[in-house]
Structure 1
């Protein structure tokens, strides 16, 4: 199902965070998990979905992604821990 979303991925030890945007969250995270997405997430094994927000339109999702990318790490950690204090992989809740 297509719906704009902003997401944050982390590695197993939570030492690396990645902020992204997509129109199909389930598919995009699947691609990250299969290491089909070249670049940062593949290189650093970042594929656990620890946070996401859904949007009505891609314009607002892209705006939010750009803002989150400028945030300090501590702010992103606080955002994640407000809704996912155990840093569970939320991908399996999407299925």
Structure 2
């Protein structure tokens, strides 16, 4: 209950403060938006370049390795064995 009352008081004070200092709020917002866009764009560039490097590395390696195919077959066989075991347990 204390949290609800405290949240309501904070919301009312925030609304009053926003109404009183609205021009200052707009000035801060006008200064913060370009900074956020710059940082967000830099992060997107970094992540995109990192993903591109990973793609280049996979292309150099020649895609999937022979061992990957063997592992996939091994896991498929294990899944089939487990399905058979489950069916046997259901019948018992």
Q: How would you bin the TM-score normalised by the shorter chain?
A: under 0.3
Higher helix share: 2
Q: Which has the larger radius of gyration?
A: 2
TM-score, normalization: structure 2?
0.21
Determine which structure has greater relative contact order: mean sequence separation of CA pairs < 8 Å that are 6+ residues apart, divided by chain length.
Answer: 1
TM-score (norm 1): 0.21
